[in-house]
Amino acid sequence: MRKNMKGFTVLEMIIVMIIISVILILTLPNIQQKREVINRKGCQSLLEVVNSQILLYEVDHDTTDVTMDELIAEGYLKEEQRSCPGGKEIWIEGGEAHAED
């Protein structure tokens, strides 16, 4: 008989892998749902920022007609703020920012 055998048996490794697989199967759908919520909330927040910058531009330039290109060119917004985190394009209509539905 051998004494002081160290290591795991194949059965123990299989049991651990099954437990890890079950945990992943249960959590992955929840993570995907959270990503959608994060993208939606991020888009709403970005629209609020764009609307604030529209108001600031209108006050600074005494005009009510502004485009995304003007806001970016004047430094009120960055190029990355042209679209939402989920990839939806932002446009300005009637002095208010909107995103694709």
Distance CA 56, CA 47 (A): 14
pTM: 0.67
Q: What does each of the 101 residues of the chain score in pLDDT, given as a tens digit? A: 556 667 778 999 999 999 999 999 998 888 888 888 888 899 999 999 999 999 999 999 998 889 999 999 999 999 999 999 888 999 999 989 999 86
How does strand 96-99 pair with strand 90-93? antiparallel
- Structural domain boundaries in the chain: 37-101
Distance CA 94, CA 101 (A): 18
Distance CA 31, CA 48 (A): 26
Distance CA 19, CA 34 (A): 23
Tokens at residue 66, please?
């502004």
